[in-house]
A and B are shown apart, each in its own frame.
Chain A
């Protein structure tokens, strides 16, 4: 937890600083008397973010000094569950790209098969039935009943 707190605090402090830098360039045309302008609110929030993230960093460092033993890792990257999650990150990105190029049905058929395989399912009948069932269910619910437009794909 302490390692993640420190990393997140530093990232957020950098974000806050970049936010202030970008806000300084905001064009503040017109505005009423008393209006602090377009840049004021984001700068105020960025200052708040830097201040609270700084406090979290200090709090984490103080806790680290007091702690007698090293803490257990928050995310065990060697565990099968976490590895599966990382594989699914990749599958998700691939699915988004497939949706754009090939549309809903082909992309979803591939996505469900890939996700089930990543989750450890190996029975072909189960995979086949679930894939067709989920794709068909979503298509009927969204496209036919709700008249929602589904991704069509630029190649199809």
Chain B
């Protein structure tokens, strides 16, 4: 293990490796501080850039963007009461009052930076500790378990990512169907290619990712913010480093929230926003002064920030050890790793442990750089958030086009991206969620391959998925995750009806 860690460290600690992480962190913070730009959008726009980088530099840059974008959202949450990303919505509750009511914006930002860095580093350590354990357990998996696990990942994301479970499941089916396009690797049959050479190799992930996540979001930003001037940061920061007293006060909250964030991050279908709200509520529940929450309490800033940054390591636990992305960001990360020749899963730990530790240590350094950038460049980042939409929107669109073209150098990819972007605009408006579609597209091949391998191994016996305990457990949980919301809502409705009748 020590030699693998050393080998992983050697891959990270190179001038270009560190520069890639730093570049990714700066890019991530830039995306995070801009209201309307999400971490998913930043990662999908920068994915082609990462793919064009040599060796493992692209992976390191993506890790930097992942961490930086989560942190960046807190800056505008504190300064202008507008969270840069959904992850930082809970930070507004105490960050904004501390900055404006008590005129301590520097103190609020310093607490948020400390908590973000602590949460990120804590989760990187947890990733370092748990990934080998989970991977060694997952080594016992056969095709049936791998199928059940992928099914579990998609069903959980489909059930929670949309307000309506049916829409989530429909999205997953659409993604899975898109993944069937191209030549079938087992029989060589051409599926849904319509005689075109372009579709023979299957649908390229990048145009779909950029179209659905970045392009459609850009269109929604135009529609929702047309003619609206974004609020500007006008306050001056009095300081950027936290006091010893503040660190002592928030330390128990940092530990608790980091643990919450790591655990929630490891559960597929959750995300930084859920972790932040749970972290905030728990901090309030454990506090000796819960009445101060909502009025500039330091713990109220530290709790959501530590929790939402801790999901970075937590979400990578199932990704690296089981090849199951927990949310949209890790789905993009999975796509990036696969395209860069690293296939996450139990075999990665046994075959290329240096790559696993490179990712873990890369995440560690990304959080260190995030802290350093946060403490040293906060005044600049606060100013960057004032860049008007009129400049930002064309820049994002050009990035989408060039990034899409850069991967395969074909204009057909650009047409596909435009189609996905326009469709994405309407389906998001209609209440559908994008992550199940993307997860279906990315995991579709794995799911079908393991489904058919299982049937071949069992000579066509369908009960094979239910006679193996681990496989059966995952399939049962997958179905429960889909039907539980429907059953619970019916149950609640019935109880409400009964209560209504009782009152009459």
Q: Name A residues whose Cβ lies closer than 8 Å to a Cβ of B.
A: 1, 4-5, 8, 12, 19, 22-23, 26-39, 41-42, 45-46, 48-49, 52-53, 55-56, 59, 74-75, 79-82, 84-85, 88-89, 92-93, 95-96, 99-100, 104, 108, 111-112, 115-116, 119-121, 126, 130, 133-135, 137-138, 141-142, 146-151
Are A28 and B187 in contact (CB-based, < 8 A)? Answer: yes
Residues of A near B393 (CB, < 8 A) are 115, 119
Which positions 354-392 of chain B face chain A at CB distance < 8 Å?
389-391
Residues of B near A59 (CB, < 8 A) are 166
Q: Does B16 contact A (CB under 8 A)?
A: no
Q: Of B167, B170, B399, B455, which is in contact with the most chain A CB atoms at under 10 Å from its CB?
A: B170
Q: Of A38, A48, A79, A146, which is in contact with the most chain B CB atoms at under 10 Å from its CB?
A: A38
Are A96 and B184 in contact (CB-based, < 8 A)? Answer: no
A88 CA / B398 CA spacing, docked (Å): 13
The 8 tightest CB contacts between A and B, nearest first, are A81-B226, A34-B460, A38-B189, A81-B223, A38-B184, A4-B430, A49-B173, A115-B394
Q: How many residues of B contact A (CB 8 A)?
A: 66
A57 CA / B48 CA spacing, docked (Å): 38
A47 CA / B209 CA spacing, docked (Å): 25
Are A5 and B430 in contact (CB-based, < 8 A)? Answer: yes
Residues of A near B451 (CB, < 8 A) are 41
Q: Of A12, A29, A32, which is in contact with the most chain B CB atoms at under 10 Å from its CB?
A: A32
A112 CA / B170 CA spacing, docked (Å): 36
Are B401 and A119 in contact (CB-based, < 8 A)? Answer: no
Q: Which of B414, B427, B429, B459 contacts A33 (CB 8 A)?
A: B459
Q: Does B103 contact A (CB under 8 A)?
A: no
Interface membership of chain B positions 405-422, coded 1 if the CB is closer than 8 angstroms to chain A and 0 otherwise: 110010100110010011
Are A81 and B224 in contact (CB-based, < 8 A)? Answer: yes
Are B411 and A96 in contact (CB-based, < 8 A)? Answer: yes
Residues of B near A81 (CB, < 8 A) are 222-227
Which positions 152-180 of chain B face chain A at CB distance < 8 Å?
164, 166-167, 169-170, 173-174, 176-177, 180
A36 CA / B454 CA spacing, docked (Å): 11
Residues of A near B431 (CB, < 8 A) are 1, 4-5
Minimum distance in angstroms from B438 CB to a CB of chain A:
16
Q: Which of A49, A55, A74 contacts B177 (CB 8 A)?
A: A49
Residues of A near B197 (CB, < 8 A) are none
